[in-house]
A and B are shown apart, each in its own frame.
Chain A
Amino acid sequence: MIAVQAVNKHYGRHAVLKDINFSLAEQGVTALIGPNGAGKSTLLTIMSRLQEADSGVVMLDGVDVHKADNAQLAKKMAILRQDNAINMRLSVYDFVAFGRYPHSQGRLTKEDLTHIDQSLNYLNLTDLKDRYIDELSGGQRQRACIAMVLCQNTQYLLLDEPLNNLDMKHAVDIMRLIRRAADELQKQVVVVLHDINFASCYADRIIAMKDGAIAYDHPPEKLMTQEIMRDLYDIDMSVHSINDKPVGFYHC
């Protein structure tokens, strides 16, 4: 279980996170939504020990992530950040293989190779595995990054806007993959999303942030209402039920 307890964060005088409290079960898909600048990425970097909070703690299975042994933590929790500028020349395969580093410290075993092949396969990258990472399109690179954290094979997976740069087919593929990881492999995936309908269709729980605080924390059916959407995004959205899923329409 991940427990976020009374986390506060300031950048200078500006408060980006105000007293954040919630906990995550071991299994499920949790979407983190909210307008730009709501504090979603900051929250994710603090949860994943990339950044320290000003106050408050993040506990993973009873251990403070900022005090835990980093090597052990890397086997339990993986994070994919938004900006993944890689300026080195290596093949997609070698890049994805880095995901096995927490388990094998660079000496790949047979089990590692299976995980790598599986991840490449899941992300449709098998044909691209010998290409250099700096020769890929934005969407292909994004998929390679997801493949890397996926083959880290952790209980908790934190993904900051994984649908960036992806076309519709690949965006749907990624969301299906996330759902499968939760259902079949019993993982907890936290995913920052901007497309409210992806959140509604694939998540079990949606945490909506606004101005550095958690504004709503509901299952999709309860969260997807005209009032809440207006409060969150300041737009008028009509919510319809399509194939038993609440879908918001706001495009025109």
Chain B
Amino acid sequence: MGNGADKAQHVTGHDPNVRMLIMGIIALLSIVAFLTLNVRASWAFTLPFRAEKVLAIVFVGIAIATSTVLFQTLTQNRILTPGIMGFDAFFMLLQSIMLLSLGRIAFVQFNPQVKWLFEVVMMSGALCGLYYWLFLRQKRDIAVLVLVGIVLGVLFRSLNSLIGRMIDPVEFDVLQDLMFASFNRIDSTLLTIAGSTMTLVFVWLWRQRFVLDVLQLGDAVAVNLGVNRRAVTLKLIVAIALLVSVSTALVGPVTFFGILVANIAYAICGSYQHRYVIPMAALLAIVALVGGQALLEYVLKFGTSLSIVIEFLGGMFFLWLVIRQGRR
């Protein structure tokens, strides 16, 4: 017993704030590296150009990391992501439907902020509707919600490819462009609206930080401790939908990356509390995305899309998690 207790105490003894500070410094270094490595053109041009790009990548990293941690808390399952429930599939389907109904020219020229707002409202609305039906009318639990989400996700993806076959090749090209995550074609016109949405979500999350901790103990314990589970679940689903919209609109669908950063954050942040886990996961995401992009683009001079590397690593990690859980 002695050894285990000592070890446990040792781990508990580390201040999560110190760990967060260290990760914050690493994140800052990767941002500086991204901004200053291998500058060819004048600084006056390069810095604002790269700053906009790095800001977008930072937003995406925070959004993916946070939405994954929240979704895993909600489902009490550490190998799920919002992507599994068809969040981003629905987002992509909305894009294809708009492309189909508006036509290519109108679709491309459509005001991106308005388009994004429309998509967010549709997505949150659909999820709340699904939630309302399953929980309040059918009295089902979160496992059924996830299951229905997985099935709907498949449906959305199939509808998406159906539309892909119906439209003409030029329009398909536009659609294809949206289907794969890319950190090189970031739509920077959305930065303001994405930033303000995230700020709102994070103000709410900060106020809910202790409730989130309680939710991790499971539904029954949370209710016993006085958490209004239905109301919190509904708000969490909206928060997740908003965050997924931010990342999907900016770069496209990313599936496994969230699992990677969330699980590393649980392991290294030294606390179970969301006020440490979420920032740690977000910082890890920034390091991986910004640092990775700097490495690929400016050091290795790869044309390879970062998303492929990240999804490969994330996918391997996901398999490892599944195999490890199976052994237990």
B108 at the interface (CB under 8 A from A): no
- B214, A101: Cβ atoms under 8 Å? yes
Contact status A50-B218, CB under 8 Å: no
- Stretch in A73-81, A218-226, A230-238 touching the partner: A73-81
Task: Return chain B residues, CB-CB under 8 Å to A75.
Answer: 226
Q: A91-B8, A106-B209 given as contacts; is B226 within 8 A of A70 (CB)?
A: yes
Is B116 engaged at the interface, CB distance under 8 Å to the other chain?
no
Check A56 for interface membership: any CB of B closer than 8 A: no
Interface residues of B (CB under 8 A from A): 4-5, 8-9, 12, 76, 78, 139, 209-211, 213-214, 216-218, 220-221, 223-228, 266, 272
Q: How far is the CA of A249 from the CA of B148 in the complex (A)?
A: 52
Interface pairs A-B: 3 shortest CB-CB:
A106-B210, A74-B226, A71-B226
A66-125 interface with B by 8 A CB criterion = 70-75, 78-79, 81, 84-91, 94, 98-99, 101-102, 105-107
Note all chain B residues with C-beta closer than 8 A to A72: 226
Give the complex CA separation of A135 and B11 in angstroms: 14
- Given A71-B226, A78-B224, A102-B225, A88 and B216 touching (CB < 8 A)? yes
- Asked if B223 and A70 sit within 8 Å, CB to CB, the answer is yes
Q: Find the B residue at minimum CB distance from A149.
A: B224
Q: Given that A86-B217, A98-B217, A101-B210 are contacting pairs, would A79 and B8 also be in contact in the complex, using a CB cutoff of 8 Å? A: no
Q: Which residues of A contact B216 (CB under 8 A)?
A: 88
With a CB–CB cut-off of 8 A, which chain B residues contact A89? 266, 272
* Besides the known contacts A70-B226, A90-B272, A102-B226, 15 further A-B residue pairs in the complex with CB atoms under 8 A apart: A48-B224, A49-B223, A71-B226, A71-B227, A75-B226, A79-B220, A81-B220, A84-B218, A84-B221, A91-B8, A101-B225, A106-B213, A135-B4, A152-B224, A152-B225
Any B CB within 8 A of the CB of A132:
yes
Bound Cα distance A102, B217 (Å): 14
Q: By the criterion CB–CB under 8 Å, are A130 and B9 in contact?
A: yes
Beta-carbon contact of B8 and A131 below 8 Å? yes
**Within the complex, what minimum Cβ distance (angstroms) separates A158 from chain B?**
9
For A86, list chain B residues within 8 Å (CB). Answer: 217-218
A52 contacts chain B at the CB level, 8 A cutoff: yes
User: A-side binding surface: helix, strand, loop or mixed?
Assistant: loop
CA distance A149 to B224 in the complex (A): 9
Q: Which residues of B contact A78 (CB under 8 A)?
A: 224
Please report the C-alpha to C-alpha distance between residue A66 and residue B164 in the assembled complex, in whole angstroms. Answer: 49
Interface residues of A in 14-71 (CB under 8 A from B): 45, 48-50, 52, 70-71
Which applies to chain B's interface (DSSP): helix, strand, loop or mixed? helix
Q: Which residue of B lies closest to A83 (CB)?
A: B220
Q: Which residues of A contact B210 (CB under 8 A)?
A: 101, 105-107
Kindly state the separation between the CA atoms of A81 and B139 in the bound complex, as whole angstroms. Answer: 20
Pairwise interchain contact B8-A130, C-beta atoms closer than 8 A: yes
**Closest Cβ–Cβ distance, residue A31 to chain B (whole Å):** 21
Q: Judging by beta carbons under 8 Å apart, are A50 and B224 in contact?
A: yes
Which residues between 155 and 193 of chain A lie within 8 Å of chain B, taking CB atoms?
none
User: Which residues does chain B contribute within 8 Å of A50, judged by CB atoms?
Assistant: 220, 223-224
Given A101-B210, A106-B213, check contact A131 B4 (CB 8 Å).
yes
Nearest Cβ distance between residue B3 and chain A, in whole angstroms?
11
Complex formed: what's the CA distance from A98 to B222 in Å? 10
Q: Mark A180-211, 1 if CB is under 8 A from B, else 0.
A: 00000000000000000000000000000000
Residues in chain B near residue A85, CB distance under 8 A: 218
User: Is there an interface contact between B228 and A71, defined as CB atoms closer than 8 Å?
Assistant: yes
Question: A79's closest neighbor in chain B, by CB?
Answer: B224
**Bound-complex Cα distance A3 to B210 (A):** 32
Q: How far is the CA of A106 from the CA of B217 in the complex (A)?
A: 14
B259–chain A nearest beta-carbon distance, Å:
16
What are the residues of chain A within 8 A of B9 when measuring CB–CB?
A: 130
The docked-state distance in angstroms from the alpha carbon of A71 to that of B224 is 9
Residues of B within 8 A of A73 (CB): 226
Contacts of B217 in A (CB 8 A): 86, 88, 98
A39 → B minimal CB distance (Å): 18
Q: What's the Cα separation between A157 and B78 when bound, in Å?
A: 32
Contacts A/B (CB < 8 Å), 23 sampled? A49-B223, A50-B223, A70-B223, A70-B228, A71-B228, A74-B225, A79-B224, A84-B218, A85-B218, A86-B218, A87-B76, A88-B216, A88-B217, A88-B272, A89-B272, A94-B272, A98-B217, A99-B225, A106-B209, A107-B210, A128-B5, A130-B8, A149-B224
Known A-B contacts A90-B272, A106-B210; A135 and B225 likewise in contact (beta carbons under 8 Å): no
* Residue in chain B with minimal CB distance to A89: B272
> In the bound complex, what is the Cα–Cα distance between A107 and B221 (angstroms)?
18
Chain A residues with CB under 8 A of B211: 106
Q: Which chain A residue shows the least CB distance to B10?
A: A130
When distances are taken between beta carbons in the complex, the residues of chain A under 8 Å from B139 are 52
Residues in chain A near residue B78, CB distance under 8 A:
87
A132–B228 contact, CB under 8 A? Answer: no
Taking the closest CB of chain A, its distance from the CB of B82, in whole angstroms, is 20
CB pair A130 B225 closer than 8 Å: no
Q: How far is the CA of A88 from the CA of B214 in the complex (A)?
A: 11
Residue of A nearest to B226 (CB): A74
When the two chains form the complex, which single residue of A45, A101, A149 contacts B226, counting CB atoms closer than 8 Å? A101
Asked if residues B272 and A131 are in contact (CB atoms below 8 Å), the reply is no
Which residue of B209, B227, B266 has the most chain A CB atoms within 10 A of its CB atom?
Answer: B227
Q: In the complex the two chains form, is B5's CB within 8 Å of A130's CB? A: yes
